[in-house]
Amino acid sequence: TCSFSRSPKSFPKLKNDTFLRAARGEETEHTPVWCMRQAGRYLPEFRETRAAQDFFATCRSPKLCCELTLQPLRRFPLDAAIIFSDILVVPQALGMEVIMVPGKGPTFTEPLKEVEDLLKLRQKVDVTAELGYVFQAITLTRHSLEGKVPLIGFSGAPWTLMSYMIEGGGSSTMAKAKSWLYRHPEASHQLLRLLANVITDYLVGQVAAGAQALQLFESHAGHLGPEQFQDFALPYIRDIAQAVKSKLKEAALPLVPMIIFAKDAHYALRDLAHAGYEVVGLDWTIRPQEARAQTGKDVTLQGNLDPCALYAPKEKIGELVKKMLEAFGTQRYIANLGHGLYPDMNPEHVGAFVEAVHAHSRHINKH
């Protein structure tokens, strides 16, 4: 349960470090597995816990975040937990209002329209004051996990957050946000730099609070072409890895493994493999062998089963997992889906996925 011990000191000893070992490229007996959006609406207990609460109010309750983070671990032998939160807490910390509209998703009441709107954003963000509730949730959850598995912290990446802040919500083209990159390159860089600075402090704060690994979500990478990615996404992705590591060192905090997940950015895999992250996450639209060829030997890969494969019968899920493990190899590899779980998925099929990864990887390792 999520009881109220709050101190980051004296965390319980970690019992299963398979995920961390794989992330660092050390040998593992089985391939570790976790799922993006494993704390989510596909679980009836999640829907029940969340039902009475406004979405962002839930995010601001350390006790509820802890409960939601632990729910999937009570059901499945996952090798990692990821803190329940949302990437849009960062724009909120910059002073923007975001509400969750039922049936529509996250919505900004006043998106950025003109370059002058940048002046409305907080230029200096005290992450502890603005996002301390996430840090409290991490500390509480780390204690409540009792060392069962490591806890992952995360943030959205600058371009992805910028696109939400300008579009005001989801978009199929990101045309408003992309038009800034073409029409206002300087202002775009100014906004991306501001975001990168806040994200860096936010990620460092998560480690100080107890996060044992960090994932950066560049979920909207696929809306950029190679040149725009090179100009407006990659430099900030690189800077964040470098700045987080140097700040962790300065503060004598653990140097935790970092994961970059840039959805649909195949054209950038080579660059991402050299961007300072221990792990490169992959979506389901790339062949494992091709991803290995592009990323080389020095990073761990994470992914990339098509989430919709979980609609298949359980035996079929097992076959797909076996094929995936044979293609990636069982070492320097973390099994995951190529994107998050969908709300209408059957929890039993998620269980079948997790168990298949463990069973097949152990079998492959033995033989």
**Encoding tokens for residue 54?**
């406004």
- Check if 332 is active-site: no
In a domain, 59, yes or no: yes
Question: Burial code of 206-235, b = ≥16 C-beta within 10 A, e = fewer?
Answer: bbbbbbbbbbbbbbbbbbbeeebbeebbbb
Which position among 86, 117, 231, 306 bears the catalytic label?
86
In a domain, 101, yes or no: yes
In a domain, 140, yes or no: yes
Q: What's the average model confidence in pLDDT over 189-193?
A: 98
* Contact status, residue 341 vs residue 36, Cβ threshold 8 Å: yes
Which position among 21, 37, 238, 292 bears the catalytic label?
37
Which position among 50, 60, 292, 332 bears the catalytic label?
50
Q: Residues 222-257: pLDDT tens digits?
A: 999 999 999 999 999 999 999 999 999 999 999 999
In a domain, 232, yes or no: yes
pTM for the predicted model, two decimal places: 0.98
Domain count, the chain: 1
In a domain, 5, yes or no: no
Q: What's the average model confidence in pLDDT over 257-272?
A: 98
Q: Is the pLDDT of residue 8 over 70?
A: no
CATH value at residue 335? 3.20.20.210
In terms of Cβ atoms closer than 10 Å to its own Cβ (0-12, 13-18, 19+), residue 43 is buried
User: pLDDT band for position 21 (50/70/90)?
Assistant: very high
Q: What's the average model confidence in pLDDT over 171-179?
A: 97
Residues of the chain above pLDDT 70, percent: 98
Q: Is the pLDDT of residue 52 over 90?
A: no
In a domain, 1, yes or no: no
Q: Residues 134-161: pLDDT tens digits?
A: 999 999 999 999 999 999 999 999 999 9
Which position among 164, 236, 277, 333 bears the catalytic label?
164
- Check if 236 is active-site: no
- Check if 164 is active-site: yes
By three-state DSSP, how is residue 187 classified?
Answer: helix
Residues recorded for the chain: 367
Domain extent, residue 65, equals 17-366
Residue 4, pLDDT score = 63
Q: How many whole angstroms separate alpha carbon 258 and alpha carbon 93?
A: 23
Which position among 24, 41, 75, 362 bears the catalytic label?
41
